[in-house]
Amino acid sequence: MRKVSRWFQRNLIRIYAVVAFTYLLIPIAYTVAFSFNDGGKSNLIWKGFTLQNWLNPCGAPEVCTALGNSIKIGFLATLFSTILGTMIAFAIGRHKFRGRSTTNLLIFLPMATPEIVLGASMLSLFLTLKINPGFWPTVIAHVMFCISFVVVTVKARIASLDPRLEQAAMDLYANEVETFRRVTFPLVAPGIAGAALLAFSLSFDDFIITNFNSGTMTTFPKFVYVSAARGIPPQANVIGSAMFIIALSVVILGQIVGRKRAVK
């Protein structure tokens, strides 16, 4: 009994880790498994293995249209929020101005506010301005909450930079533009890329704010929500599995590239 107790004490953290990862990966495993289910319109019960869902991912009505809308909104929201968020991060991280602390506080408000409040507030604003819900109101709403995450991510990267590198570049007769282009931007670029990936994933995954401001337009999360009552089509599981594989591949590729650079 003592040996078993000692073994548990030595391996308690490993046991916790296994339980946590199992809890996180079970829904993903379910999604991947049922992407191969020959379930037809209803995908609630396993009926047999098939590759037809992967060969025809647009087999379910409107699934690819919804996916296209989500990708377009995610791309535009990522583009605008990354540009604006990076500029705000440089302003807060590198310059002192009146209202800096207030601006820094306001940046965190969208992150701390419940999404249902943000979605309802944006819808009320659009209706007050007589703007009908649809594609561009959804893009604007996504940019609004993605900016905060971009600012926080990029500002953390800026705070970790060594200012002596920029000073050394200026000592070697580089002007401010050349210093930014050759020194500052390459050092901040990984943080900007990480912020852009985070913004895209948040925009692509969002349902609550999108549901308030998209009107009759269907995005992929809305499609999954509407389809959940009668069983999510296996094609939706295919798209979800593919997105997970792509995201995992990007992370693994980033780790490999980072290790190669560290070795050099």
CA distance 210 to 222: 8
CA distance 198 to 217: 24
- pLDDT tens across 30-70, in order? 889 888 888 776 777 788 888 888 988 888 888 899 999 99
Which residues sit opposite 37 in a β-bridge?
A: 49
3-state SS, residue 131: coil
Spatial CB neighbours of 24, under 8 Å, sequence gap ≥ 6: none
Q: Give the distance from CA 187 to its chain's centroid.
A: 22
- pLDDT tens across 200-218, in order? 999 999 999 999 999 889 9
Which helix (H) or strand (E) segment is 138 a member of? helix 135-159
> Could you confirm whether domain 60-234 is CATH 1.10.3720.10?
yes
234: nearest Cα among 25, 27, 26, 39: 39
- Residue type for position 97: F
Q: Give the position of tokens 């953290």.
A: 13
90: nearest Cα among 73, 106, 77, 103: 103
* Phi, psi (degrees; rounded to nearest 5) at 49: -85, 140
191: nearest Cα among 237, 160, 226, 147: 160
Domains of the chain by residue range: 60-234
Is 0.95 topped by the overall pTM? Answer: no
- pLDDT tens across 183-194, in order? 888 889 888 998
CA distance 251 to 215: 34
Pinpoint the alpha helices (H) of 160-233.
163-171, 176-179, 185-205, 208-213, 220-227
249: nearest Cα among 260, 259, 237, 257: 257
CA distance 145 to 78: 11
Asked if residues 218 and 151 have their Cβ atoms less than 8 Å apart, the reply is: no
Provide the pLDDT for residue 169.
80
- pLDDT tens across 81-115, in order? 999 999 999 888 888 888 788 888 888 888 888 89
Which helix (H) or strand (E) segment is 84 a member of? helix 63-94
